[in-house]
Structure 1
Amino acid sequence: MTGRNEKELEGVSLLGNQTNVYRADYAPEVLETFPNKHPENDYFVKFNCPEFTSLCPKTGQPDFATIYISYVPGERMVESKSLKLYLFSFRNHGDFHEDCVNIIMKDLIRLMDPKYIEVWGKFTPRGGISIDPYCNYGKKDTLWEKVAFDRLTHHDMYPEKIDNR
């Protein structure tokens, strides 16, 4: 059996903890990482958060979205329960949609130093319009920097139909 030993799980305290506090204020400090067992391999890790909520900074009205996070890990990976608690911490956070996805991406870059990451927010319509901001990052001076540019310039070339929300 190939599991993680205690040293590899050092710093991971939220997984399996039944007494977690669900913060209702922006809390990047809840994010945790663990070592990537395969840093020599390039592979994507993808997360979907279909119940993301934040607040409009002007009206205080709730905004709802599915947040998609895809990244190619380097030496560290984000622990999924801490990511869930982190995303939940936006619940009472007031920021525009574009700011939320960029904040999420930058916090994860600081946390993990991934080779590549992208964050896409698909917000439900409010006032008859939806906003779907996308941002990405490729590690400077690597092939992932070019991948980031290519993915950004070709992002959403085939927009979805409005009936699939």
Structure 2
Amino acid sequence: MNTPEQSQLGKSSAYVDTYDAGLLFPLPRAAKRAEIGVGSTAPFFGADLWTGYELSWLNLRGKPQVALAQFTIPCETPQLIESKSFKLYLNSFNNTRLADAGEVKARLRADLSEALWRGQAPGASMGLNLVLQEQFDAQAVHELDGQLLDRLDVECTHYTPAPELLRADHDAPPVSETLVSHLLKSNCLVTGQPDWGSVQIRYSGAQIDQAGLLQYIVSFRNHNEFHEQCVERIFMDLWTRCRPLKLAVYARYTRRGGLDINPFRTSHPGALPPNVRSARQ
């Protein structure tokens, strides 16, 4: 079983520029989920929405091609892909001759599906879309919708996750709200490098105290954990502390190494949010 310490994170890496699926480094989700009280059946659905901004290959005449790649990785997969290995893998296409974008997609889909489901029969399928050059101008930039928590003038004293800051008024009538903050920051689990993000919390149920919620989001500032794990921790803390009837947590992190990761977790199945980048991405 792979561990984060065995990955290429924080190590000097040779950049392989010919196709090599073996560069992908899957990591099991189960151990970090066990830390936050998630058993064999998770109380959430969702996916990790990745965008690769640095995808390139050669056509059969040796001419470089470029595209954006959008990946939708179901949270049901037993593995996640460590992001530096993902970057190294995508770079391995750089000097590889391929017939067309269709062949690129086929290789991406096959390699990633194998890594994500390694050791298990494949379940939910991975989504994949290539945005070609002629489609670049149609790509939108949009901030997360919702009431901005950052407007609140709060004192912040916690910089590691403090779920005790979360509270909800169960004596008042239930509400439905969408709340947003751009003050989410955590650090890479292995290297400690900063990860910057925005988070959207959509819920129905007892009204969550907004000041405490903002202080809780800020409390991730010195926390070391991967993007997907932070979002699941936020979901579970809200789910257990505030006991909403419905809950969805969506974070968009700024890119690193040409990749951004945007995890979405929801208590009820439904449509995924559109993978539209924000200004900081």
Give the structure with higher Rg (CA).
2
- Residues 44-78 of structure 1 deviation map (CA, whole Å, 9 limit, x = unaligned): 211101121001111100001110000011xx322
Residues 28/161 of structure 1: CA separation in 2 closer, same or farther (3 Å cut): closer
Whole-angstrom distance in 2 between the partners of 1:54 and 1:32: 22
Whole-angstrom distance in 1 between the partners of 2:221 and 2:201: 18
**Which sits farther off after the overlay, 22-31 or 58-67?**
22-31
Structure 1 residue ranges, 4+ long, deviating more than 2 angstroms after superposition? 35-39, 158-165
| Aligned partner of residue 131 in structure 1, secondary structure | strand
Residues 34/163 of structure 1: CA separation in 2 closer, same or farther (3 Å cut): closer
Are the aligned partners of 1:56 and 1:94 in contact in 2 as well (CA < 8 Å)? yes
Would you say 1:50 and 2:50 are equivalent positions?
Answer: no
Match 2:249 to one of 95, 104, 119 = 119
Q: By how many angstroms is 1:163 displaced?
A: 7.2
TM-score by length of 1: 0.70
Residue equivalent to 1:155: 272
Whole-angstrom distance in 2 between the partners of 1:30 and 1:109: 14
Q: By how many angstroms is 1:33 displaced?
A: 2.1
| Aligned partner of residue 101 in structure 1, secondary structure | helix
Q: Name structure 1 gaps, 5 residues minimum.
A: 1-15, 138-147
Whole-angstrom distance in 2 between the partners of 1:105 and 1:123: 16
Are the aligned partners of 1:67 and 1:122 in contact in 2 as well (CA < 8 Å)? yes
Question: What is the aligned-residue identity percentage?
Answer: 28
Match 2:164 to one of 29, 32, 35 = 29
Residue equivalent to 1:38: 173
Whole-angstrom distance in 2 between the partners of 1:32 and 1:49: 17
Are the aligned partners of 2:250 and 2:265 in contact in 1 as well (CA < 8 Å)? yes
Residue equivalent to 1:144: none
Residue equivalent to 1:60: 192
Would you say 1:72 and 2:204 are equivalent positions?
Answer: yes
Whole-angstrom distance in 2 between the partners of 1:132 and 1:121: 5
TM-score by length of 2: 0.43
Residue equivalent to 1:145: none
Q: By how many angstroms is 1:36 displaced?
A: 5.5
Give the AA of the match of 1:86: Y
Whole-angstrom distance in 2 between the partners of 1:87 and 1:163: 20
Whole-angstrom distance in 2 between the partners of 1:161 and 1:132: 9
Bigger strand share: 2
- Residues 81-140 of structure 1 deviation map (CA, whole Å, 9 limit, x = unaligned): 101111111000011100111111110111121110000010000111000000011xxx
Whole-angstrom distance in 2 between the partners of 1:162 and 1:100: 19
Give the AA of the match of 1:133: P
Residue equivalent to 1:105: 235
Give the AA of the match of 2:180: N
Whole-angstrom distance in 2 between the partners of 1:161 and 1:62: 19
| Aligned partner of residue 221 in structure 2, secondary structure | coil
How much is the aligned-residue C-alpha RMSD, in angstroms? 2.4
Whole-angstrom distance in 2 between the partners of 1:22 and 1:164: 26
Give the AA of the match of 2:244: P
